[in-house]
Amino acid sequence: MIISTEKNFVFIHIPKNAGSNIRNQIKLYDDFNEEFNQIILHPVLGHTYTSHLTLSELKYNYPEPYRLISELRSIAILRDPYERFTSCLNQRLREFKGMAQSEITQSVLEAEAKEVLSQINGKSSDELPLELIHFRKQKDFVFDSEGRQVIDNLFKFDELDQLVQWFDANTGIKLELGGESSKYNATLDVKSKSLKSIIVRFKPLINLIPDQLKDKIRDFLIYIGIYGRTNKTTAQLLIQNQDISKSVDDYYGQDIALYHSVSNLNLVSA
C-alpha cells in the first residue's frame, strides 16, 4: 500500500495483481516510508505482510492510515480470479515447495489447487495464515467489513493502460508498464537446479533480508543470468477440471462478480 497526501492518492496492493510493478514506481511519494511493505509480527494479527492488509485489518489496527484511505483518492487493480488463483499456485509451488517453474505440470497444479482449496474453504481472508496470504479475496481490499465500497477507482489487470492514464491525469505521475519496472512482476526462477536446492535450504535466512536489499540482490542475479523469466502454467489447465472450477467459483464468487462489474471509464478526478 502506498499513501500519498502530496499527490492525493492511496494505492491498495492486492496480492498477485501487478502491484509490485506499480508500487515500485510510486513508492517515492509514500508518506509511510514503506511501512506497509514488510513482514512483521503484529501483536494482534500475528505474522503478517503489511503490504497485503485487508480493509478490515487496517480499520481496526491502523486507524490513521485507514482514515486517509477513506479521504484520499483510492486505487486498486483487479484481476480475473482464475488467472490470479493460478498465479498464486505457481508462486506457492516455487516459494514453499521448492519447485522450478518448468516442473509445474498440469497434474502438479491440480493437486496443489485441491490442497489449497481444502485449506481456505470456509475461511475469511483475515483467517488465512501468512503462507496463504496471496489467496485472500480481492473484495476484502475493496469493501469494508460492512460491505461498503471504500476504494473508488478500480482497474483491470489486463487493461492497465487505463491506470496509466488515470495517474497521469490525476497526479502527474507517468507510469511505465514495460521496461525496467516490469521485472518486478516477471516470473523469475533459478536456472541451475543445484542452486535452486541451496536457495530452498537457506529460505528461512533469506526471509530475514530486508525487502529493499532483496530487490537489489535479485536485480544483480538477473543481470548475471542466474535468474531468468519463465513461462507460467496457465489458468486454462485448472478450468478443465470441473471439481476445481466449481470450488474456485464457490470461494471466489464475489470476486468474479466484482471483476466483471468493473468498467475502466474512471479517468477523471475522483
**Residue 33 placed within a domain:** yes
- What per-residue confidence (pLDDT) applies to 65? 96
Q: Which domain holds residue 182?
A: 2-187+230-261
Backbone angles phi, psi at 73, to 5 degrees: -70, 130
Report the candidate in 166, 146, 145 with the shortest Cα–Cα distance to residue 155.
166
pLDDT higher than threshold 70 for residue 233: no
**Residue 147 placed within a domain:** yes
Beta-carbon contacts of residue 180 (< 8 Å; ≥ 6 apart): none
Q: What is the mean pLDDT of residues 111-137?
A: 95
In the structure, what pLDDT confidence band is assigned to residue 201 with cuts at 50, 70 and 90? low
pLDDT higher than threshold 70 for residue 93: yes
Task: Say what the pTM is.
Answer: 0.79
**Residue 55 placed within a domain:** yes
The domain total for the chain is 1
The secondary structure of residue 149, as a DSSP letter, is B
Buried b (16+ CB within 10 A) or exposed e, 246-268: ebbeebbebbbebbeebebebee
- What per-residue confidence (pLDDT) applies to 177? 83
**Residue 77 placed within a domain:** yes
Mean pLDDT rounded to a whole number for the chain? 85
- What per-residue confidence (pLDDT) applies to 265? 47
**Residue 218 placed within a domain:** no
- What per-residue confidence (pLDDT) applies to 224? 60
Burial class (CB in 10 A: 0-12, 13-18, 19+), 165: middle
**Residue 21 placed within a domain:** yes
- What per-residue confidence (pLDDT) applies to 251? 96
In the structure, what pLDDT confidence band is assigned to residue 116 with cuts at 50, 70 and 90? very high
**Residue 39 placed within a domain:** yes
In the structure, what pLDDT confidence band is assigned to residue 184 with cuts at 50, 70 and 90? very low
pLDDT higher than threshold 90 for residue 54: yes
**Residue 214 placed within a domain:** no
- In single-letter form, the type of residue at position 191 comes to K
